[in-house]
Structure 1
Amino acid sequence: MNKHAVILASQSPRRKMLLAHLIDDFTVQAADIDESVLDNETPSEYVSRLSLEKAQHIFKNNPDAIVVGSDTSVVINDCILGKPADLQDCINILSLLSGKQHQVVTAFTVMNKVKMITKVVVTHVLFKTLTQDEIIKYWHTGEPQDKAGSYAIQGIGGKFVKTINGSVSSVVGLPLVEIEQALKEVME
C-alpha cells in the first residue's frame, strides 16, 4: 500500500502489530507528549487531541513522511480509566467494569504535508461479572499492569468480554478498517 515513508507515532507493540497488517514497511518513533486530561475534556476530545499531538510531534521532524498517531481510552460513565497503579487499583477498575458495558474510545490521526485526517472510533464492550479472586489471579499474570482499563482483549483479559459491539482492533489500539481508508486518502 505505501509508496511513502510511514511513521507510527507510538511504541505500543500492539499498535505496531496492527499497523503491520496494513503496511509492510514503516518505522516507529515514540512521541513524548503530556498525556494529562484537560479540565472539562470529554473522552473523545481527549483521545483526539492526543492522537493529533502525537502525530504532530513526530511530523515536525519528518515533514516528508506520513505519520500515524493514535490514543485509546477505556471509559465508563464518561470517566477515563487509566493503567492500574497497583493491585488494589486493578481490583477497583475491573470491579467497576464487572457486569457492565463500557466504551473503548480510540482516536487516530493520519497526516502528511497536504492532508490530515483525525477520526474517533467507539466500541462498546460488555464484561461478565467478575469475582475478586478472578481479578487477583488476572493481576498476577502480569497482563493488566500496562493496559488502560486493566485488561487486554487480545490476551487473557478477553475471557472477561461477554459481548462486543464495534471494532475489536480499535479496542487493541488501532481501528484497522478506518486506518486503512485514511491511509489511502492521504496517499492519493
Structure 2
Amino acid sequence: MIYLASQSPRRRQLLDQIGVAHQLLLPGEDEDAEALEAERPGEPPEAYVRRVTLAKLQAALQRLERRALPAAPVLAADTTVALEARILGKPRDASDARDMLAALSGRAHRVLTAVALGGVPGRDAALALSVSTVRFAPLPAQAIERYVDGGEPFGKAGGYAIQGAIAAWVERVEGSHSGIVGLPLFETAGLLRQAGLLPP
C-alpha cells in the first residue's frame, strides 16, 4: 500500500488501473496546498513542475508524520501545461479559462507531469518526468464558450481535461496519454518497481 498525496480522482483511477493499492493523504484545513503551486518569475516549466512535485511530496511526508499514520511510501504528482515558455496553471475564473483555451487553439503545447516517490526505507526520494505534446485544432469561440460553461476547465492545468469533451478538438498527441491525464503510468510503475513496490 502507498499513500497518494493528490485530490485528483483521475490519479486514483490510474493507480487502480495498474493494481496499486493506495490511500489518500490529503492536506488539512491548516495547510495552504495551493501556495505550493505558486510560480517564480522566469522559472522554466520543467524546473517548475519538478520543484512543485517535490514540495508536494515533502508536505505529504510531514503530514504523514504529524498525523502519526502507519508508515508507507508516499506518491505525489503535478501536471503543468506549457505554451512555449509560458506556464498555464489552473484558470482563476471563466474569463481566464477562455483566454487559455484561445491561446491553445490551433497550436501545439506541452504537458509536463512529474511524479515523485518518497518515504521508502533506505531510499532517497525519486522523481520522474513525462513530457508530451498535444495539438488542438482551431477552437471556435462557440466551442470554447460551451466548454467553459460546462465547468470542466476549472481545477485543471491549462483549463482542460483531455479525457473530457475537449477531446473532440485534439488533433494530435505525442507522448504519454496517462501523463496528460495526470499520472504517467510508465514512469510511475518504474519508480514503484525500483522501490520494490511492484513486481518486475
Q: Same fold (TM over 0.5)?
A: yes
Across the aligned residues of Structure 1 and Structure 2, the Cα RMSD in angstroms comes to 1.6
For 1:68 and 1:86, locate their aligned partners in 2 and report how far apart those are by CA, in whole Å.
29
Q: Where does residue 19 of structure 1 map in the other structure?
A: 15
1:132 positional shift: 0.8
Q: Distance in 1 between matches of 2:99 and 2:46?
A: 23
1:187 is aligned with what amino acid? G
| Structure 2 residue 54 is matched with structure 1 residue 60 | no
Q: Extract unaligned runs of 5+ from structure 1.
A: none
The one-letter code sitting in structure 2 at the alignment partner of 1:68 is L
Q: Measure the CA separation in 2 of the matches of 1:73 and 1:102.
A: 11
Q: Residue type of the partner of 2:154?
A: Q
Which of 138, 159, 184 pairs up with 1:175?
184
The aligned counterpart of 1:71 is 78
Q: Deviations over 1:93-131 (max 9, x none)?
A: 111000000000111101223222111111000000011
Cα separation, 2, equivalents of 1:12 and 1:121:
18
Secondary structure class of the residue paired with 1:60: helix
Task: Give the stretch that moved more between structures: 145-154 or 99-108.
Answer: 145-154
Partner Cα distance (1:86, 1:106) in 2? 23
Aligned match for 1:137, one of 146, 166, 185 = 146
Note the residue ranges of structure 2 that are not aligned, 5 or more in a row: 66-70
Residues 97 and 153 in structure 2, CA contact (< 8 A), matched pair in contact too: yes
TM-score of the superposition, structure 2-length normalised? 0.86
Question: Could you say which residue in structure 1 is the equivalent of 2:49?
Answer: 47
Give the count of matched residue pairs: 184
Quote the residue 1:6 is aligned against. Answer: 2
2:121 paired with 1:113: yes
Please list the CA deviations of residues 2-23 of structure 1 after superposition, one character each: whole Å capped at 9, or x if unmatched. Answer: xxx3000111111111111123
CA apart distance, 1:38 = 1.9
Give distance in 2, aligned partners of 1:83 and 1:14: 16
SS of the aligned residue for 2:154 comes to: helix
**Of residues 34, 37, 40 in structure 1, which corresponds to 2:39?**
37
Q: 1:25 is matched by which residue type in structure 2?
A: A
TM-score (norm 1): 0.91
Deviations 1:14-60 (A, max 9, x none): 11111111234211112444221123321111111111111122223
Partner of 1:88: 95
What CA distance in whole angstroms lies between the structure 2 residues aligned with 1:19 and 1:77? 30
Q: Are residue 126 (structure 1) and residue 128 (structure 2) matched? A: no
